[in-house]
Amino acid sequence: MVKRRSRVRWEEVWPVEVVVARIAARVETERISLRAAMEDFFAQHPELGPIRGLVRAFSLAMLRYALQIDWLVRTLVGEDPRRLPPFERNLLRALVYEYRYRSVPLDRVVKLARRIRGLRLERRDFELLASADLAELVSGMGWAEKVAVVYSVPKWVAEYLGSLLGREQAEVMLDRMNRPATLWVRVNTLLTTRERLIEALRRRGFDLEPDKDLPDVARVLRLAGNLSHTPEHSAGHFYLQDKASALVGHLLGPALVVYDMCAAPGGKATHAYQVSGGCALVVAAEWKFRRLASMRAVARRLHAHIEPVLTDSRMPPLRGVDAVILDPDCSSLGRLGHSPEIRLWTAPVLVKRFAETQRELLRASASLLKRGGRLVYSTCTVTLEENEENIKWACDELGFEPVHAEPRVGFPGLGVKEAQRLYPHVHDTQGFFACVLVKV
């Protein structure tokens, strides 16, 4: 008689730690966002859909601690995780994270650690890693080195923030970025009002409060599930958008023709359409096909009739527009909390490279705009090179002038008082920079 094989349960084939390690390995080697890597993984493994939320929360937390864990393994076990292949390195991080910070049973952790080829970790190694007193271990170190370990960031980031903000504020900012970020929604006022949306979501158990600075933004105080699974989300009544990012649409104000040079996933482009009362022609340029497609989906859901265009905005196909949004790729140091994977690859040379590309785009923005037209330049980073230094360059080289624009939400720029800087620990947003310029 043929014995029927018992069904292999997916938990045995795909323990959550292995899923997290698989996704994080791809994020680290290809330098893609956690969101993109998760989308691909779960498209290939729809049967794992039920653990998607858990994998996201686990990955975010593990990536926040990744550099600290690497340092602990080097210091206490004498092994350098950097010499392991990416999957093994991330499985090691996931297991140390679980045992040190989540008190997962040691038996489970040790059993899964056998999958780390090239490194044999015993029970006592995990016990040592879990019980180590971090404050004691770092007590003799210099400030930047210590802060890098304690907040799990590269040393150059600690040094940069220390000299930008002062040591005390730098630590407060890093501490804030290691705790869950505040969730903000931008209400689609073309379809509903803020009061109606807050009331509708309240009936579903969510709690939101209106923001005091921006009339279409609300802060989420309590979740009762996933906001993007609500009927109000499907109906396009709101977009999950950080308050700092929503500032851009208001700084831009109503315009007839808007060109968003770096538009996907479409948060600012659809907001520009909304702020114009649905009257503006918004050209939403994006050079990555996949991102353009997801922007189309966002715009459709929000009933925002924008014009997505697949193009390289360094060579824009238009001239003489009223208003331009330039929100280019950047070093994203303001998003170390939202996208902790950035910590794995960020480097000073990237800041320099981003600043150069941003200047190419600024140059193109000057050719796009008509005389007197407005440019809103923004980034989700806090470096001077990508922000104030680029603004000064654009004024000297391209004939722009910075203007004071309302609403004022952030601190004045450093040496460019018209600009605004927002910080996670002060404004409860991502770290952000925005400046309005006029082409004279």
Ligand X SMILES: C[S@@+](CC[C@H](N)C(=O)[O-])C[C@H]1O[C@@H](n2cnc3c(N)ncnc32)[C@H](O)[C@@H]1O
CA 311, CA 8: separation in Å to the nearest integer?
47
By CB under 6 A, residue 243 contacts ligand X: no
CA 336, CA 332: separation in Å to the nearest integer?
7
> Segment near ligand X (CB under 6 A), from 21-29, 86-94, 261-269, 424-432?
261-269
Which region, left, alpha or beta, applies to residue 2 given φ > 0 means left and ψ of -120 to 50 means alpha?
A: beta
Instruction: Tell which one of 23, 116, 177, 264 touches ligand X (CB under 6 A).
Output: 264
Looking at the Cβ atoms of 147 and 422, the one nearer to ligand X is: 422
Q: Which of residues 117-136 bind ligand X (CB under 6 A)?
A: none
CA 97, CA 236: separation in Å to the nearest integer?
38
Q: Count Cβ atoms within 10 A of the Cβ of residue 344 and give its class: 0-12 exposed, 13-18 middle, 19 or more buried.
A: middle
Q: In which order are the strands placed within the sheet that holds 238-240?
A: 207-210, 217-222, 184-187, 238-240
**What per-residue string of b and e applies to 397-411 under the rule 16 or more CB within 10 Å gives b?**
ebebebeebeeebbe
Looking at the Cβ atoms of 237 and 268, the one nearer to ligand X is: 268
**Nearest-approach distance from CB 142 to ligand X, in angstroms:** 34
By CB under 6 A, residue 431 contacts ligand X: no
Closest chain position to ligand X (CB): 262
> Segment near ligand X (CB under 6 A), from 11-19, 28-36, 156-164, 257-265?
257-265
**Nearest-approach distance from CB 368 to ligand X, in angstroms:** 12
Instruction: Tell which one of 20, 23, 263, 321 touches ligand X (CB under 6 A).
Output: 263
**Nearest-approach distance from CB 245 to ligand X, in angstroms:** 6
Instruction: Tell which one of 176, 194, 268, 343 touches ligand X (CB under 6 A).
Output: 268
Q: Which of residues 328-387 bind ligand X (CB under 6 A)?
A: 328-329
Distances (CA, A) of 434 to 109, 247, 356, 376, 386: 45, 8, 18, 7, 11
By CB under 6 A, residue 288 contacts ligand X: yes
**Nearest-approach distance from CB 269 to ligand X, in angstroms:** 7
CA 416, CA 402: separation in Å to the nearest integer?
8
Identify the CA nearest to 355 among candidates 321, 312, 391: 391
Strand 420-422 to 411-412 pairing: antiparallel
Residue corresponding to tokens 């893609």: 32
Number of residues located near ligand X, criterion CB under 6 A: 19
Instruction: Tell which one of 81, 249, 267, 431 touches ligand X (CB under 6 A).
Output: 267
Identify the CA nearest to 243 among candidates 60, 36, 410: 410
**Nearest-approach distance from CB 270 to ligand X, in angstroms:** 8
CA 360, CA 314: separation in Å to the nearest integer?
6
**Nearest-approach distance from CB 260 to ligand X, in angstroms:** 6
Looking at the Cβ atoms of 100 and 268, the one nearer to ligand X is: 268
Looking at the Cβ atoms of 95 and 321, the one nearer to ligand X is: 321
Per-residue binding string, ligand X, 197-236, x by CB under 6 A, is ----------------------------------------
Distance of CA 141 to the CA centre of its chain: 30
Q: Count Cβ atoms within 10 A of the Cβ of residue 266 and give its class: 0-12 exposed, 13-18 middle, 19 or more buried.
A: buried
- Structure token pair of residue 432: 């952000």
By CB under 6 A, residue 39 contacts ligand X: no
Q: Residue 434: beta bridge partners? A: 378, 420
Per-residue binding string, ligand X, 289-328, x by CB under 6 A, is --x--------------------xxx------------xx
CA 318, CA 320: separation in Å to the nearest integer?
7
Looking at the Cβ atoms of 69 and 435, the one nearer to ligand X is: 435
By CB under 6 A, residue 245 contacts ligand X: yes
By CB under 6 A, residue 286 contacts ligand X: yes
Residue corresponding to tokens 């040379």: 349
> Segment near ligand X (CB under 6 A), from 113-121, 135-143, 168-176, 282-290?
282-290
Length of the chain: 440
Q: Residue 310: beta bridge partners? A: 286
Instruction: Tell which one of 162, 236, 249, 266 touches ligand X (CB under 6 A).
Output: 266
By CB under 6 A, residue 262 contacts ligand X: yes
CA 18, CA 91: separation in Å to the nearest integer?
6
**Nearest-approach distance from CB 124 to ligand X, in angstroms:** 46
Instruction: Tell which one of 265, 337, 340, 431 touches ligand X (CB under 6 A).
Output: 265
**Nearest-approach distance from CB 193 to ligand X, in angstroms:** 23
**Nearest-approach distance from CB 248 to ligand X, in angstroms:** 7
Q: Which of residues 154-193 bind ligand X (CB under 6 A)?
A: none
Interacting residues toward ligand X by CB under 6 A: 245, 262-268, 285-288, 291, 312-314, 327-329
